Amino acid sequence: MLHILISYNISHWFNLKNKNIIKSNFKIKKFEPEKYSKNKFQPFPKAKIKIKEEVVPIGFRVSSSEKIKKQIEPKNWNKLLKDKNIKILDAGCGTGLVGIELKKHNYLNIDGMDLSKKLLDLVPHGYYQNLDQVDLNKPIKLKNDTYDAILCVGTFTFGHVKPHALDEFIRISKNKALISFTINEGIYEEYGFDKKIEQLKKNKLWNVKEFFKSDYIASKDVNAWLCLAEVTK
């Protein structure tokens, strides 16, 4: 039986009447509003529901394929890549913020791609081996099996790159390469990312190692799905 814990950011909002309503609607025997979610990647300023190891806002439906049992904190993902000389692609690199963070962890063999030349011109020197103006909605002019890891942060959002880019990411990745990316929650189903992720799993092109909702634009209460997958072609 699923263990369900309802927690609220401001516990004094809830009196006995509210507790009884929540107990009735969710069939919860014990309700403790003073308990808060410990998940650092779910800082929602509203009610949360915790199912197993996952935290999502109340009212957001999560399918069984989207639930995870064990969560590796993103700050520890770099431990999965012990070789600091691996070849990494920062897809949709913008002004190079990801490259700057990667260099802090001593990853130096990084390429960057972005559609905007204006943003590429703002990337500081010394963080990327190559910077190219590329439309990620089109086929990427690179050979198969080029990269050991691909990062795509803030690019899968409204009016930007579509799900078919994931096919290209897999093509230019080596077997066992890691692909990490964010998807703005507003386009996850609307653009078909949910179906694409499942399709790639069914075709055994990758193994999704981590998948959960994370804070995205905290000031606007916008969240994103965060995915880490291992290529298995």
What does the pLDDT look like over 83-120, one tens digit per residue? 889 999 999 999 999 999 999 888 989 999 999 999 99
Question: Quick one: pLDDT at residue 214?
Answer: 78
What is the torsional sign of CA 218, 79, 136, 118? positive
**Do the beta carbons of residue 128 and residue 99 sit within 8 Å?**
yes
Domain covering 74-231 in this structure, CATH number: 3.40.50.150
Q: Residue 76: is it exposed, middle or buried by C-beta count within 10 angstroms (0-12/13-18/19+)?
A: exposed
What is the torsional sign of CA 122, 126, 132, 136? negative
What does the pLDDT look like over 152-187, one tens digit per residue? 999 999 999 999 999 999 999 999 999 999 999 999
What does the pLDDT look like over 17-64, one tens digit per residue? 444 544 455 454 444 443 333 344 443 333 333 333 333 333 334 444
What is the torsional sign of CA 8, 56, 70, 175? negative
Question: Quick one: pLDDT at residue 1?
Answer: 23
Locate the domains of the chain by residue range: 4-66, 74-231
Question: Quick one: pLDDT at residue 217?
Answer: 73
Q: What's the CA gap between 219 and 213, in Å, rounded?
A: 16
User: Among all chains, which residue has been given the structure tokens 């559609």?
Assistant: 115
Q: What's the CA gap between 37 and 71, in Å, rounded?
A: 14
Question: Quick one: pLDDT at residue 212?
Answer: 86
**pLDDT surpassing 90 at residue 131:** yes
Question: Quick one: pLDDT at residue 24?
Answer: 53
User: Among all chains, which residue has been given the structure tokens 């997958």?
Assistant: 229
Q: What's the CA gap between 122 and 137, in Å, rounded?
A: 22
What does the pLDDT look like over 185-228, one tens digit per residue? 999 999 999 999 999 999 999 999 988 887 777 677 788 999 99
- How large a percentage of the chain has pLDDT more than 90? 54
Q: What's the CA gap between 17 and 20, in Å, rounded?
A: 5
Of residues 212, 176, 232, 169, the one with CA closest to residue 56: 212
